[in-house]
Structure 1
Amino acid sequence: MATNENHLKLMFLLMLSCLWISFAAARDTLELGDTLNSSSYLVSRKRAFTLGFFHSGSTSNIYLGIWFTNDPKKIVWVGNRNAPVVNTAAVLTLETKGNFKILPQGGDAISLYSHQATNYTDTLFATLLDSGNFVLQELDSNGTTQKVLWQSFDEPTDTLLPGMKLGVNHKNGRPWSLTSWLNEVVPVPGQFSLEWDPKGRQLIIRRQGVEFWTSGVLKGGKFEFISDEYKSMYNFTIVSNEDEEHLVYNDINQGGQSAWFLSFEGKLLSFDGSYIAETENCNGHSTDGGCMRWLPSCRSRDDMFDKRSGYFIQGPEPSSLDYNTKHTMNDCRVTCWNLCGCDAYTFLYDNQTGCKFWEKKGEFFQDLSGIIPALYVLIPKSSQNGTKKWIWVIGIAIGVIPLVVIFFCILCHLSRRRNVFLQVEMDAKSDDGMLELMNSDTFTTVNELQNDRKQGNDLRIFSYKCIMSATNNFSLENKLGEGGFGLVYKGVFSQGQEIAIKRLSRNSGQGMSEFKNELILISELQHMNLVQLLGFCIHREERMLIYEYMPNKSLDYFLFDSTKSKMLDWPTRFSIIEGIAQGLLYLHKYSRLRVIHRDLKASNILLDENMNPKISDFGMARIFQQNELEANTRRIMGTYGYMSPEYAMEGVFSIKSDVYSFGVLLLEIVSGRKSNNFYHTKHLDNLVGYAWELWKEDAMLDLMDPTLSDSFIKDQMFRCIHVGLLCIGDSAIDRPTMSDVIAMLANDSLTLPSPEKPIFSIARKAIEAHICEKESENYSIYGLSISNMVAR
């Protein structure tokens, strides 16, 4: 036993020795023809800095960077911050022709430097120096004089190292300045920049180009608004001549590591994380500590934001959300500061981008235990003097809180199911029909979908806590897409079942009536070519629909992408056409309800793991009685380009309206082109008109998506185009039913009638003008231009 242990120890020591030898022998230079791949590095001579490729957070984006060898998290330079290498490998190469490039596998080269000379020698090389500077240099013919061709110090990112310049190069007009990262893990340029102002002899931090903070004038070796303690740590050198104007700092303590970082929040930090410039209270109104005033504000100059755990008396949920992933916490603070009714803010996504705002929420109750997630709460000047008194009152209350908590836990345990339902009921109190629906036997209240293999259409009311857990608090990584209705997220329950959550936006046209409509309809519908709705969640102003998860997203995701469309060969496309037709036939004829979808389009066709199509989004659908042939509405909803002429012009709809939309969609599937965003120089500016012209010229093959050239069946494709043209006829009565469509697609021997010229679709401009006139007179159309979309 002892012998084995000694062998293991010896092997471990040998492994450590090999690693040390490998590191010690790491090169610091690339010579002509050399490459550096994602598993190799350059290490400066004294091992102060390392250069190599790194990943951005949990993403697959790859960047070339330089970092402190003893702290790889402190990245001081990024070579391709505007052009990440995505989903592939990359190498850095110094080509024999002298070009310095990052070469992604299978992608376009990212140039760092292009060699201009026609004659050169083998004396070109790139070296990582112990200063952190990566230098491409050339020796003269005598081998002694070095000429710098390119260096990373001339292209700074968010970090200033000793010896780096801040200022402007008058030779090429380029500035030397820092630009923050977008957030903690994404190095693309963010909101803030640090510059040297030669005339004012001061440092300036700008937010989106506007002065945010200034250091004050440099006098006696120190800046007015930078702490005196740094005077003993740094000395500053100013250079001003016809070639350049710049500032350089050096670390007096040469034995220590030194760097200035401009954070994505606009703070200037030293290597150890201490503040050089504290910009926390720079809000556009305050002028303390170098902060700049740039906007008028309804706030008092002494008002402040304080990070506190707690909740507002009028509810814990935010009043509004900002989904912009380029907005950082500083953007949230500035927005809240200038929004007079805003009481608090915090970030929306886990990577601290996006914003949540609490507006006119009343009194804030602070939780000193820290259990409740913290917010940045506005503390008015009048409240600051009473802060100690308020904390004292909270302290007394803490002694009572445990007893209250125990009491309420007992109550919650006795009425958990009832409470969940009552919460949803209270949230939906503005809609009596919604309450009536939830009181029916259609729905079951659950905290998570149980794997009980129940069949049928038993919909659940999901708790908000359950949905938050399944989506990781609606994290950015779980976002699947977005549309006029709002956002769609992927969720995973604890048992591993995947779901899709359609989170309706308050700004979308889809209100409570459409939300209720979709619930009622899909609870009564069951077909393999219709998406399955599992349930819903209502929480205050939030309305969410929970569907089965479709791993292949929607048809338009593949169809209109030049690369992804190759995955849709002809057999797959024909199968999708047949599946959509079967789904529509069920809606029109065989379901318990007779349903007109009214918004059939490629983005509303979801694809499962086997590329089987499923019709989704029934918010605009209408139920017909079995003996009802058509209906009329003054509220036209749908997507222009898919709308039948009688619906777009007169508001009349029937099952033949869906047939028209199916015809347009069929032509899109065959051609791989969008109907409502089509342009052809020779023919008309819409897909239907183009298809008709090709039909007349007997050139239907020209309509085919070129990616189908190796898989299409000519007769089958021509039959599809023929059926599509029959479906888009101007007269509803002449269009086939979906039963006819399925028969025509399936039976090659069936003789098809000749299509008529689709005047409506070809005369697009005149129709648009007419619809716009009708809109101003009669119609209530949701927000968007009729030329693109008319709804949602």
Structure 2
Amino acid sequence: MEKVHLQVFILLLLSSPCESDDQFTQAKPLFPGDMLISKEGVFALGFFSPTNSNESLYIGIWYHNIPDRTLVWVANRDSPITNTTPSAAKLAITDNQELALSDSTTGRPLWTTATGGAGVIAVLLSSGNFVLRSANGTAMWQSFDHPTDTILPTMRVLFSYQGHVVTRLFASKGPADPSTGDFSVSMDPSSKLQIFVWHGTRLYYRINFFSDVSAFGGSVSYATTTVIVSVSRVNEDGLYFMYTVSGDSPAFTRLSLDYTGKIRLLTWNNDTSSWTAGYERPSSGCDLYAACGPFGYCDNTESVPSCRCLDGFEPIDGHDVSRGCRRNEALVCGMEDRFVTLSGMKAPQGFMHVDNTSFDQCVTECSTNCSCTAYAYFNMSTAGAWAYTSRCLVWTGDLVDTGKVPSFGEDLYIRLAAVSHVQKKRNLVKILLPITALVLLITFTMLVLTYKHRGTRQKKKVQKRHMLQYLRSTDQAGDKNIEFPFIDFEDIVVATDNFSDTNMLGKGGFGKVYKGMLEGINEVAIKRLNTARKSMLPWPTRFKIIKGIARGIMYLHQDSRLTIIHRDLKASNILLDTEMIPKISDFGMARIFSGDQHQANTNRVVGTYGYMSPEYAMEGAFSVKSDTYSFGVLLLEIVSGIKISSPHLLMDFPNLIVQAWNLWKDGKIEDLVDSSVKENCPLDEISRCIHIGLLCVQDSPNCRPLMSAVVFMLENKTSPLPIPMQPVYFARRDAKPGGANNNRVSSVNDMSLTALEGR
């Protein structure tokens, strides 16, 4: 009990204010238990112990009326008073008119300030500044000139002077240890345009302010608070940093570097009794310095920030962008290179600063230098304290530590090779297509004229001979038990009414399709397929098909030389071979994107309703994310065995996507699984597939994952998955019966994924 009473006594001694004035003089030192409180009662100065004991005592400043002590400054952070009684410590004005913290048991000073004049006093101002003031009111020393890990409003910090770092903020070691930690902040004295966060001697994070250096990013507003940050020069040699706050409680805002290396702008929220972050950097792992390697950038506009390659570059190590990117085509000095514009970018590290230039002069500065890899230009509206009204930034060598940011970004112009292989191929296609079309037209005209003058009997003989040769080639071994039955040519002639034009459904790249032929051939093939499909397509096979389709689409989008958008992915366009390996077919509606193209629009929407993404069906906008949406529909079809266009055939089943969402949300995913595979199937694997399918069919294309991410999620079952957005319901629109989107003539040696449609 005596021990408990002693601890309570010590806590009361350290927390109860014996002195509540805002200043003290040489005649009246400050002892443990005494406090200075600023006139408005916002800040307090006194002795404290982070562990609420008398083992280590510090002098510090904190917010007086906030429940949990929040420190903004510590005098002796690396020289605490230890192994002594509280009464032995004191903060006093010495005979030399300086502030000194001492331990009377040893008599040695642990911390001192600069010497003041006669009759000095120590005052804690309402701004949180602790000042040693002379008799005439002149500040001889102030804590604002010696910050620890926090910058308060109106605190004017001299970061650099004559090319040298003057002030550096050091984070504490931890929440209970105010001593100097591993993280620090300083300004880049060479450029005066960026701030560095260091982890020891290693550059950890970089903040640049290029948009307008006279206003360092302008202002930031949140809740009822507006923060205006400014950077100003002193005698053309130094750089001051300061910010002001307007709002209900401007004094309760602080900019600090915490022990984890994060820079936070925090404001006290009385409603929640907590600190609210209006600004926090770094915000993600790829936001750290050079995390995406040379010519890579961190895309902070995505829901989950990740590394990407700059336009005109590809990953050095396959799909791992974190190691950096390389050019698709090398630069050749002397060639007339081109520049691609990237908007909303955080400019890279390692630039050369050119003042007072025009935009054209900045372009010339880079384009005439073979070593220049990029440039950026900004024309400032007001010069303010700066000597220049514009600035040109030029980079040579690798571009490191850039990013795409949702705000405060600027245009970055990157140098690429003059003519890419893609452009050469396009030019070749532009030349060859008209020639090929002309040759085909002439050939077709000659064939029509030739066959027109031949007799009907000769035409039938030729057709019969070709058909018989083809059918015999499918049974070279003489085995009559082949996969598809033998059909006489005469039966086909009868079924198509002698290939009558009235029975022709259409024509494609491999010839004409007749109604009678389609019914005569496919009637038996599809009956055989439907009878066997439940045993042929158990869950492991379906999961294999899902991953195969995903890898195929990823190849079209990313791994192929050209970016190919299919635009008509659906069950009938996925063919299965005898080993159940899927093949994507029918590229009649596909579009090719160039290296710097991400989206296109069309006035003629083609494809199949149900598989179309909302932005494509309603606005004609398509991208790789349009194929992602179609894949999501396919995935849900394969899991459920329900065709996207068939929910009207089921009771209380509004829409496959909506039904999948409702069952997934309610934890009843087993109700969506095809009954033929429900028994003995891994529900965790099926649940993950449904989850991925719902991510793919989200209404906003920005929320849908890339197919490379889909493949990763399918093949790495322990990786976490984002939460999908609730889908918006769209009424089903049926395609016209007998239209091209409802039928598919596939190779007789392949099996279509259409077998999964319907239960």
- TM-score interval (norm. to shorter): 0.3 to 0.5
When normalised by structure 1's length, the TM-score is 0.32
User: RCO higher in 1 or 2 (8 Å CA, sep ≥ 6)?
Assistant: 2
When Rg is computed on C-alpha atoms for both structures, the one with the higher figure is 2
Normalising by structure 2, report the TM-score.
Answer: 0.33
